[in-house]
Amino acid sequence: MPRLRLLGPGLAAAAALAISACEDTPNPTSPDAGVPSATRSSQGADLPSAAEFDRQVPGFGGFFLSRDGTPTVYLTRGAGRAPAERVLSGYLAAKGISTAAVHVAEARYGWKQLERWQASASSEALAVPGAVFVDNDETTNRVLVGVESLGATGRVRAATARLGIPDDAVIVQQVSPIHQVATLQNVVDRPVRAGVQINFPGFLCSVGFNATSGTQKSFITASHCTTTQGGVESTPYWQPLQSTAPTQIATEVADPKYVRRGAGCPNGRRCRYSDASRAAYINGANQALGKIASTSGANNGSLTITGSFTITSDDCSTRGGCLAVGTIVNKVGRTTGWTAGAITNTCVNTGVSGSNIVQLCQTFVSAGVGGGDSGSDVFQGTGSGVKLAGILWGGSSDGRQFVFSPFGNVVSELGTLVTH
């Protein structure tokens, strides 16, 4: 979604949302507490990456959590379930779920084949006016292409047919465009926690998470929450507003440039794997490492800070992350506060409405978002410790779905970060 533009001292305009990071709210239930727990194995508690699944599970076609929390794996006809249970054993044991609870659905296509079709379709389909994203969709075992209007459907199907992708392997679906979303709005927060408002020249965004890079105490926010998206221009930051607290708190120090013609980047577009930048605190004491501001509850509209979440772990450093479709995640941002919902798509190549930018391998979440939420932290869990999942940068125009760059994508471009 867009950052918020300042209209005057202390005034902010409501920014238009589009498909770049924010919105949607389904609430899958947790798995049945009566399911017997599995014995913990040597497999780790994190969800294995799709590449790891594909290496170890013959016939693998995708994995997700259904709306009722059932772990579901696609396997091609004739493939046995035992390898899938083995790969999932540690992940499921950590959740108290038996491998016997795994549901196997018949896959028409293998994961590697769908991955190749997603890559080729990204180049052609995203060049069609009105195309929004291209996803290797775990829940359907198909390549899913989102379009703004049904008028683009025929052109997208013609493009995928030219590439030799079977018509049955492609789903074209009408979706809202993705916009960048640039109070938790009024508090002077010292030390500065994730989720609170920041002000840079002319605009408002949110602190994503605090992080130390080497010895430099910093915070991470969205790349489009800088003077120029991609590239370092030493953007200054104030919190919450320059007019309220006129002492500058931080300066932009890391923001990789967007590149053309890189691996997976469609012709005529500029691409990166994360919409993320790093700003170094001028006074290191202003950094509240590992702390995220919390409100009274998820999805209730409150912007009043009532406490803090504490980050105790990070998602894996694999590009695309290690959180399954169906996992419930949260975000705290200056505009819509604390919202929570289910991951609906992972590793989606996402066009940013009104620009020539494509964000590669992003995650979609069905939860609320609004202009100014750009840069917000995304995390899993709400108990004594939460797992950092990434940085929110956009969302749908109806404010019901947000998009974030997974933590693994962020560190692949900004380098090693200590977050807690």
Same domain assignment for residues 276 and 148? no
The three-state DSSP-derived secondary structure of 62-109 is EEEECCCCCEEEEEECCCCCHHHHHHHHHHHHHCCCCHHHCEEEEECC
In tens, the pLDDT along 157-190 reads 999 999 999 999 999 999 999 988 654 898 999 9
Query: What is residue 2's predicted lDDT score, i.e. its pLDDT?
Result: 55
Q: In sequence order, what are the beta bridge partners of 165?
A: none
- The number of distinct structural domains making up the chain is 3
Same domain assignment for residues 9 and 93? no
Same domain assignment for residues 13 and 74? no
Same domain assignment for residues 87 and 120? no
**Residues 23 and 369: beta-carbon distance below 8 Å:** yes
Same domain assignment for residues 129 and 141? yes
The whole domain housing 241 covers: 4-23+181-414
Q: How many CB atoms lie within 10 A of CB 405?
A: 33
Residue 119 has pLDDT above 60, yes or no: yes
Q: And the tokens for 339?
A: 């919202």
Same domain assignment for residues 309 and 334? yes
Whole-structure pTM value: 0.84
Same domain assignment for residues 124 and 72? no
Last residue of a domain, one of 91, 107, 123: 107
E strands, 276-411, where?
277-281, 287-294, 307-314, 328-333, 337-351, 357-365, 377-380, 386-396, 402-406
Same domain assignment for residues 170 and 278? no
Same domain assignment for residues 171 and 194? no
ω into 71 cis (within 30 of 0): no
Confidence of residue 109 (pLDDT cuts 50, 70, 90): very high
Query: What is residue 5's predicted lDDT score, i.e. its pLDDT?
Result: 59
Answer yes or no: is 397 within a domain: yes
Same domain assignment for residues 18 and 87? no
Last residue of a domain, one of 124, 153, 175: 175
Q: What mean pLDDT is predicted for residues 326-333? A: 97
Answer yes or no: is 365 within a domain: yes
Same domain assignment for residues 365 and 261? yes
Instruction: Using DSSP, state whether 54 is helix, strand or coil.
Output: helix
Answer yes or no: is 89 within a domain: yes
Same domain assignment for residues 277 and 352? yes
CATH of the domain at 87: 3.30.300
Answer yes or no: is 31 within a domain: no
